[in-house]
Chains A and B, each alone.
Chain A
Amino acid sequence: MAKVTVDGIVVEVPNGSTVLQACELAGKEIPRFCYHERLSIAGNCRMCLVEIEKAPKPVASCAFPVADNMVVKTDTPMVRNGRRGVMEFLLINHPLDCPICDQGGECDLQDQALGYGMDHTRYEENKRAVKDKNLGPLVKTVMTRCIHCTRCIRFVTEIAGVPDLGATSRGESLEVGTYVEKALGSELSGNIIDLCPVGALTSKPYAFVARPWELKKTDSVDVLDAVGTNIRIDSRGPEVLRILPRLNEEVNEEWLADKARFSMDGLKRRRLDRPWVRRDGKLVQATWGDAFTVIAERLQGVAGERIGALAGDLCDAESMVALKDLLTALGSANLDCRQDGVLLQAGRRDFYTFNSTIAAIEEADALLLIGTNPRREAPVINARIRKRWLASKMLIGLIGETAELTYDFQHVGGDAGAFDGLRDASAGFGKTLADANKPMVIVGQPALRQPGVLAAVWELAGAIGALAGEWHGFNVLHTAAARVGALDLGFVPGQGGRDLAGMLNGGVDVLWLLGADEFDTARIGRNTFVIYQGHHGDRGAARADVILPGSAYTEKSGTYVNTEGRVQRGLRAVYPPGEAREDWTIIRALSEVLGKTLPYDDLPGVRARLEQVNPVFGRTNFLPRFGVSDRSGPGQGSGRASGPFGVAIENYYQTDPISRASPTMAACTETFATTPLLQAAE
């Protein structure tokens, strides 16, 4: 520890920290452009100048290591003059186009020019002009505004892990760009928009749409993958204009995947905004009352076991618990949430969650990926793995289809047959795993579709020492945001109930689809009466006999459980369109028409019910770390695993009704469909 005095305040910082970190600890804000906590230090903007006693010149605090008994001054005439000079140099070539710049109002350069800018310019020559680069359909560039902080380059190479962005030339003619024109091939590319301190990199779909001060900001949780990224929804009136990440060190740090950031224009297309009822083979518009009457009439005399319900991938826990309660009241145990046919059971929680927690990836020293491509299934988790790999050269093995990941890995095998080889602790990757202190196993959804894989992986994890009292190294990586919540609520076939396959092909007479679109609706029996409740007109709505318009995740206050089992709440940002309502209220209202009134009629009531069903819903944003207390594995089940696992996500950009309705995501699909990234995994 080094003792540093900053403006008279004495702070203790670890050796090797920078002066800037010491100043922050002392509560002094240092202006900066290039320094960023999560990126390597570049020290090229010089805005962070401070004065250090006995140093002849002001020093750049972000790149200067502390020494014991250092005396730092952050607010002296020398410092202020230095920063003013730096600012003047930066503004030599920076255009004065704030009125037409999308960064206006949230621009670091604007803010710091307020403190250190001159009121006039002494520069009379022409300003530099730089050609804009085309970085694909997501990131817009106005390269004349670039101040060469290189944050974007450092992010793309260090965190996103693709060598796409770089700088050419030097001095005044330095230009940031892809060396040859190409789109940024990363699922995290949107983050460079947040990182760029000026308006050189802005969001293409959001160009010239709004100013930051017009927007209403709502905290929420992303549902387009199972990571549970914390997001902030910026909306104006009835419209969601953009989605930004929120800081959560334990989940997403400060990153957000592109699909979550850019697919919100899908929230304005193909919306279900009024109930529809099928009459004489054609869907016609109806009122809520009509729709409920039709359902009530159809349900008359139908036995409980002929009714079934499927929960989709984007559902909030509130609507699922309401639907489960309604079906139970109707006497049915036919529930399922596993549209992709994975063989996970509700019950013991560590058989279906990411037990190590995402943050603990940074402690692991060997990693085995089974039938998963985290780069596409959970880009933010993939960034964590890369971070760990960079920091420690963690050894990574992969069983399943090879893919272009952002770190080196050893391909151990293609199917479940490779498990046996890994038990051999004397050679190969088996030795790596056995030698590791904190080995980690991540198993993806495609692998879990094969019988016996869950048990086999659990056993393997036990054999390599991943199931210890202090370290739980068995992890399931989900792709559906609603899945863990549904399993927690027991949204799976109850006693004698039918599962997905049993409900299709005429297994039930009435099928309730709660936003379920990810299975082949042609397999639903011809005479099955389908009730679709959801927000987008997708596969399910096209097959439905009654459509009940629900709300998307931005339009309701919902509870979601991420792949780690972390319970998080999102708040409503905008109202659902037209006649659409919050999902659990629809089910509650219908239950009254059916004479089976559910015993809750406000949000706290439903949430109390959630907690009653499973106590984990009682604590949000909290996840205890735990080891393994019970090493007995899940049941083997019948059947044998065979053949390759396959992939969970064919096209990263279109995986759910919202992203399928989004024009931006369609443009991405078009752009990236031809890149080797997607070809490699196809």
Chain B
Amino acid sequence: MNIGTRIFTMLYGRRVGADADGNVYYEARRLRRFSGQSRRWVAYRGAAEPSRIPAEWHAWLHYTTNAPIPETARQPWQKPHQMNLTGTPASYRPPGHDYRGGHRAAASGDYEAWTPGS
């Protein structure tokens, strides 16, 4: 959070909660003049990376729900939230990618080479 946001948050913000990742969510104490809604924002823990916001808070942040969905209400089939890993070393690499050994699975266009004795 840079200094400007910090002062703005101190002056107008009210803490609503924090997610498991440590990001803190705020909303303005006063309603906006025309929309009648209060402004909502997030203070990231660490670098600002929007994809780290879990679905529950994402919904609230974008005014889809009025109140944040409790993270405890998760279903057993829901996977834990994961940020977008593109561009990081942990990003997805398809099978056969050079960083995964470079051995792709057989494709229909492949031929079978002859070896002696076969």
Q: Chain A residues in contact with chain B, CB under 8 A? A: 209, 236-239, 267-274, 276, 282-283, 536-537, 541-542, 577-578
Contacts and interface: CB of A to CB of B under 8 A. Distances in A.
Contact of B113 (A238, A274, A282, A542): A274
B112 interface: yes
Nearest to A282: B116
The 9 closest A-B pairs by CB, nearest first: A537-B114, A239-B109, A283-B116, A268-B111, A270-B114, A273-B113, A269-B112, A238-B109, A271-B111
Contacts of B113: 271-274, 577-578
Interface in B29-43: none
Given A272-B114, A577-B113, 10 more contacts: A239-B108, A267-B111, A268-B110, A270-B114, A271-B111, A271-B114, A273-B111, A276-B116, A537-B116, A541-B114
A271 B112 contact: yes
Contacts of A273: 111, 113-114
Contacts of A209: 108
A577 B111 CA distance: 8
A395 to B, nearest CB: 49
A271 B113 CA distance: 5
Contacts of B114: 270-273, 536-537, 541
Interface in B61-118: 108-116, 118
Contacts of A577: 111, 113
Contacts of B108: 209, 239
A236 B109 CA distance: 8
A536 B112 CA distance: 10
A9 B31 CA distance: 82
A504 to B, nearest CB: 22
9 contacts: A237-B109, A267-B111, A268-B110, A268-B111, A270-B114, A273-B111, A282-B116, A537-B114, A537-B116
A269 to B, nearest CB: 5
Contact of A269 (B109, B111, B115, B116): B111
Interface residue range, chain B: 10 to 19
Contacts of A541: 114
A274 B115 CA distance: 10
A377 to B, nearest CB: 28
A239 B110 CA distance: 8
A577 B114 CA distance: 11
A270 B118 CA distance: 8
A276 B115 CA distance: 9
A270 B111 CA distance: 8
Nearest to A239: B109
A239 B106 CA distance: 13
A209 B109 CA distance: 11
Contacts of A272: 113-114
A576 to B, nearest CB: 10
Contacts of B118: 270, 537
A537 B111 CA distance: 13
A278 to B, nearest CB: 9
Contacts of B110: 268
A438 to B, nearest CB: 48
A329 to B, nearest CB: 30
Contacts of B109: 236-239
Nearest to B112: A269
A272 B108 CA distance: 18
Interface string B2-42: 00000000000000000000000000000000000000000
Contact of B116 (A237, A239, A267, A542): A542
A540 to B, nearest CB: 11
A541 B113 CA distance: 13
A209 B108 CA distance: 9
A270 B116 contact: no
A178 B27 CA distance: 77
Nearest to A270: B114
Contacts of B112: 268-271
A272 B113 CA distance: 6
Contacts of A238: 109, 111
Contacts of B115: 537
A536 B118 CA distance: 12
Which of B111, B114, B116, B118 has most A Cβ within 10 Å?
A: B114
Nearest to A276: B116
B111 to A, nearest CB: 4
A238 B108 CA distance: 10
Nearest to A538: B114
Contacts of A239: 108-109
A211 to B, nearest CB: 14
A271 B111 CA distance: 7
Nearest to B113: A273
B63 to A, nearest CB: 40
Nearest to B108: A239
Nearest to A535: B114
Nearest to B116: A283
Contacts of A536: 114
Contacts of A537: 114-116, 118
Contacts of B111: 238, 267-269, 271, 273, 577
A236 to B, nearest CB: 7
A627 B118 CA distance: 51
Contacts of A268: 110-112
B101 to A, nearest CB: 21
Nearest to A574: B109
A237 B118 CA distance: 27
A306 to B, nearest CB: 26
A276 B117 CA distance: 13
A303 to B, nearest CB: 30
B109 to A, nearest CB: 4
A538 to B, nearest CB: 9
B110 to A, nearest CB: 7
A283 B114 CA distance: 12
B57 to A, nearest CB: 41
B41 to A, nearest CB: 48
Contacts of A578: 113
A537 B115 CA distance: 8
A237 B112 CA distance: 16
Nearest to A240: B109
Contacts of A269: 111-112
A239 B114 CA distance: 17
A578 B113 CA distance: 9
A295 to B, nearest CB: 18
A238 B112 CA distance: 13
